[in-house]
A and B are shown apart, each in its own frame.
Chain A
Amino acid sequence: MIFDVDHIQRQFAIIRHYASEGRFHYLDNAATAQIPDCVLAAMTTHDTRARANVKRGIHRLAQEATDAFENARDQIAKYLGIENSDEVIFTSGATAGINVIAQGFGQSLKPGDEIVLSQAEHHSNLVPWQMLKQRKGVRLRFLPVDENGVIDLSRVEASITPATKLVAVTHASNVTGAVTDVAAIRKIAHERGAKLMLDGAQMAPHGPLDLPGLGADFYVFSGHKTYGPSGVGILWGRMESLEQMPPTFGGGEMVGHVTYEKTSYAAPPRKFEAGTPPITQAVGLGVALEWLGNQDLPGIHNHLNGLTDRIMAGMAQLNNTYDNRIRILGPPRGAQRLPLISFAVKDAHPHDICQIMNDRHGVALRGGHHCAEPLHEIFDLDGTTRASLGMFNGQEDVDALLNGLEDCLKILD
């Protein structure tokens, strides 16, 4: 089967909308991916046919809303490769999922206990643990990364100790695109009695995922990066881990029995879904992941790897002409990496590059430290510019990026 990017593009209303302008090159998918028509339609249908609160109502719409909500949970479980959809918890996003773990799992930790992170983490997988450190006196240790931003496996053995209670690392970096060797880390973490949490915000859109095969204890990701809506995300946990973990938020739906004196909690997932969940968004995310799972994922991978290679080759060519001013972060050409390229240009600020790219070339990029300021300090950079690909991107987007980059090199010297 040959991957047909035109067929994909036709499924995105926003691409059809801007096609008439002739200059629409959206390369900021690592921040937010665009949303296909079927997801928009599913949410519209839900809100025009079945809008009601879930679980509590007896009336027809409440039943239909509950069915749609739970159906979404099943669709997501299927994408994650898990059998028990009760392990799927709706949150507002990956950040919320990590905070739920930091507060819930962290509640039983005591001074001297250790949380192991990596140097490659997004702030969302750093700050919640720093807050836990302040509350509980736990120690934070960091797995170092090599010059390509890949977690240095040779240091894992020494970094994870019997005092380690949780290893929380990214499944793939939002800056370097480096993919974490989960198996090596999981083995040592579990040998030392620690749980493993993976931040899948960047990896989840590039499925399929096999969470049981990965062997993690917790996994989080966001809807808006997986061709779904914003305001919804997933926290997955092994049932025994979820049962052991106290809830973070109290309120309606998460209870078993309530008296004026005390409350017993419902079983997962309700235990972690206090209040009215993001119902319409959950329905959208379910459809998004079902749609994503039905795509030709190997074909998409080949397509995106080809575009990534084309970008890196183009940048290398520009370096020949422009005195090696472009520095690409992350694994080199040919090595495993996500289809995102962060780069620094000597004597050019990322925001100036992004502005010129947008204003003159219609290319949407992201500039700054991408919520990974400490990682940029390791690379001795104030910030980088990032191009991140989605399945609807084509060669014309790559060509616009490279033409725009040459323009930047001329203007910003």
Chain B
Amino acid sequence: MSNDMYHDPIIAWSKRKEHMGTLQNADCRATENNPLCGDRISVEIKLHFSRITEIAFHVRGCILAKASAAHLAFLAEGLDLEALGQLRKFFGKALKSKDEAFPFPENHDIFNPVRSRKSRHSCVLLPYDAAMQALRSVGGEESHYEPIQSIGRTISKSSFHDVHLNALTLPDHPTACTPAVPVKNPSSPNRLF
């Protein structure tokens, strides 16, 4: 993959507007700031049994923050705080890893060029932090498990939280990269999706 951070998939994601704006009757909301650059991300979320059913971001920030927010919004449906937290941990660990072979979460490879630019890590993680903050505000519980090493297997040590983020792909995805869309299935408590 090109090391150019402003490659077409990132640009395309940054321009997606489907999940940008506000929600009526949101169950929780939060705003996170990056004091280093002044970026600000607000998120509003609707929930069903603690899991995200709708999510909308408002991003005052750079292309990376916008792309990451749009990308996360596509992934977020069906996630609860624990699953989102695991994804955030894994994503953060992949970004920080000095091992180029360290895998990114499924469908996050487009952010690979960000890895070598440490000062930009917070740009792509800010949407995750905002969403987690919103879920915490309504009493969501986080896992204390270590982040998983590879999505497509288990996301935590508990089979309760098995995740297969590559289960589905988005048909109108703007790039060759295929972000997964979690399937909302709250009636099946042993699986997230």
Residues on A lying within 8 angstroms of B by beta carbon are: 349-352, 355-356, 359-360, 367-369, 373, 376, 382-383, 411-412
| Contact between B37 and A367, CB atoms less than 8 A apart | yes
**Which one, B6, B11, B60, contacts A355 given CB within 8 A?**
B6
Task: Point out which of A352, A360, A367, A411 has the most chain B C-beta atoms below 10 A from its C-beta.
Answer: A352
Residues of A within 8 A of B64 (CB): 351-352
7 new A-B contacts at CB < 8 Å, known A349-B62, A350-B37, A355-B120: A349-B63, A351-B37, A352-B6, A352-B62, A355-B5, A382-B38, A382-B39
* Chain B residues in the interface with A (C-beta under 8 A): 4-6, 11, 36-39, 60-64, 117, 120, 123
A359 to B123, CA, bound (A): 17
Residue ID in chain A nearest B61 by CB atoms: A349
Contact of A352 with B63 at beta-carbon distance under 8 Å, contacts A359-B5, A383-B38 already known: yes
Give the chain A neighbours of B117 by CB distance below 8 A: 355
Q: Are A411 and B120 in contact (CB under 8 A)?
A: no
Give the A-B contact count at a CB cut-off of 8 A.
38
Given contacts A368-B37, A412-B63, contact A351 B123 (CB under 8 A): yes
Q: Is the interface of A mostly helix, strand, loop or mixed?
A: helix
List, in ascending order, chain B residues with CB within 8 A of A349's CB.
Answer: 61-63
Set A352, A368, A411: member contacting B38, Cβ < 8 A? A368
Query: Complex Cα distance A373/B37, Å?
Result: 10
**In the complex the two chains form, is B37's CB within 8 Å of A411's CB?**
no
> B127 to nearest A CB, angstroms?
15
Across the interface, A351 reaches (CB within 8 A) one of B4, B11, B60, B62, namely: B62
- Please pick, from A367, A382, A411, the residue contacting B6 in the complex, using a CB distance under 8 A: A411
- A110 to B60 CA separation, bound complex (whole angstroms): 41
* Cα distance, A350 to B120, chains bound together (Å): 12
Select the residue from B38, B39, B63, B64 with max chain A CB neighbours within 10 A.
B38
Nearest Cβ on chain A to B114's Cβ, whole angstroms: 10
Instruction: Please give me the residue from chain B that is nearest to A355 by CB atom.
Output: B5
Question: Given A352-B62, A355-B120, A412-B63, A383–B6 Cβ distance below 8 Å?
Answer: no
